[in-house]
Amino acid sequence: MTKISDWQSFPHPSEAFQFPGEALHAAWPELHRGDCEPFPDRDRVVALQPDNSDPEATAQMLQDAWRSFHAGNFAQAVEFGLKAGDCGFSVANKACGIYADYLEDDDDRKIAIYQDGIARAEAAIRQFPEDPNAHYFHAFLLGRYSQCISITQALAQGVGGKIKASLTHALELEPNHAEAHTALGLYHAEIIDKVGKLVGSMTYGASADKAMTHFKKALELTPSAPIAHLEYGNGLYLLFGDKRLDESNQAYADAAAFDPHDAMQALDIEYARSSLDYEN
pLDDT tens-digit profile of 162-188?
999 999 999 999 999 999 999 999 999
The set of residues, in sequence order, having a beta carbon less than 8 Å from that of 139 and lying 6+ positions away, is: 162, 163, 164, 166, 167, 170, 180, 183, 187
Q: Do the Cβ atoms of 62 and 84 come closer than 8 Å?
A: yes
Tell me the C-alpha distance between 249 and 244, whole Å.
9
pLDDT at residue 255, as a whole number:
98
What are the sequence ranges of the domains in the chain? 1-153, 176-280
From first to last of its 280 residues, what are the pLDDT tens digits of the chain?
468 878 999 999 999 999 999 999 999 999 999 999 999 999 999 999 999 999 999 999 999 999 999 999 999 999 999 999 999 999 999 999 999 999 999 999 999 999 999 999 999 999 999 999 999 999 999 999 998 987 778 778 888 889 999 999 999 999 999 999 999 999 999 889 887 887 777 778 889 999 999 999 999 999 999 999 999 999 999 999 999 999 999 999 999 999 999 999 999 999 999 998 765 5
pLDDT confidence of residue 26: 98
Q: What is the pTM assigned to this prediction?
A: 0.94
What are the pLDDT digits (tens) for 136-151? 999 999 999 998 987 7
Q: According to the CATH classification, is domain 176-280 in 1.25.40?
A: yes
Whether residue 116 contacts residue 141, with contact meaning beta carbons closer than 8 Å, is answered with: no
Q: Estimate to the nearest angstrom the gap between the alpha carbon of 155 and the chain centroid.
A: 22
Question: DSSP 3-state assignment of 93?
Answer: helix
How many angstroms separate the CA atoms of 232 and 234, rounded? 5
- Judge contact between 29 and 39, C-beta under 8 A: no
Amino acid, single-letter form, for residue 197: K
Pair 138, 121: CB distance under 8 Å: yes
Distance CA 250, CA 270 (A): 15
**Cβ contact 133:35 at 8 Å:** yes
CB 163 within 8 A of CB 154: no
pLDDT of residue 97: 97
Q: How many CA atoms lie within 13 A of 218 on its CB side?
A: 28
User: Distance from CA of residue 131 to its chain's centroid?
Assistant: 15
Q: Is 178 helix (H, G, I), strand (E, B) or coil?
A: helix
